[in-house]
Amino acid sequence: MTEIDKRNLKNYLYITFGITYITWGLLAIITQSHILGLETIIARSLHIVGALGPAIASGFYLKRNNIKFQHFLFGKKGNSSIYFIIHLLAILILFSVSSLELNELSIYLMPLFFIQLLFFGGGHEELGWRGILQPLLDKKYTYWKSNLIVGSIWGIWHLPLWFIVGESHQGFPFILFFIYTLFLSFVLGLLY
């Protein structure tokens, strides 16, 4: 890993955590103090801005390194159709193990579910975690160590959500969520 890579890595993490922890920290204070509820437009806006931290930091990274967004998204070598098939299989598995009944209609809705998940359910985070952080760490570490680091950072990045009153993550123990991010990091690391 070069000095430029180290600087890029630090800057990416500072911007990501700065945006997220400031906005979600403020949101935690506001909701715990009962100043505003999570359902208000101001609280929802803070929630969204915090969630976009990795994507916003990715934008700064691309700008700083003169990388065009289209090239960043579509300039990877390899057969992208295999990734699409893998994602569809993952959704099929998700539906089959969830409480949702898998029927003819839900099979046709799976691509819409995937698009919703990608853009509104956390998929935008992957611009940073798998698009920036993973490749930078891959330059220095093995697949296993790199994914362990990404999964750990990813899990810790979500921590403020457990302090925001009314946030759905509170219904799930953080340690189990952290283990989940470690596991999912290895799975997503294979896809990217």
CA distance 22 to 165: 16
In a domain, 64, yes or no: yes
In a domain, 100, yes or no: no
In a domain, 130, yes or no: yes
Give the C-alpha distances (Å, rounded to integers) separating 140 from 1, 10, 29, 91.
Answer: 5, 14, 38, 32
In a domain, 92, yes or no: no
pLDDT of residue 92: 59
In a domain, 99, yes or no: no
Among candidate residues 137, 157, 135, the one with its CA nearest the CA of residue 146: 137
In terms of residue numbers, what domain contains 16? 3-75+124-191
In a domain, 57, yes or no: yes
User: Cβ(127)–Cβ(55) under 8 Å?
Assistant: yes
CA distance 15 to 6: 14
Q: What is the pLDDT along the chain (192 residues), one digit of tens a residue?
A: 788 889 999 999 999 999 999 999 999 999 999 999 999 999 999 999 999 999 999 989 988 877 676 555 556 555 555 555 655 566 555 555 444 454 555 555 556 555 555 555 566 787 888 888 998 999 999 989 999 999 999 999 999 999 999 998 888 899 999 998 898 888 878 776
Q: How many domains does the chain have?
A: 1
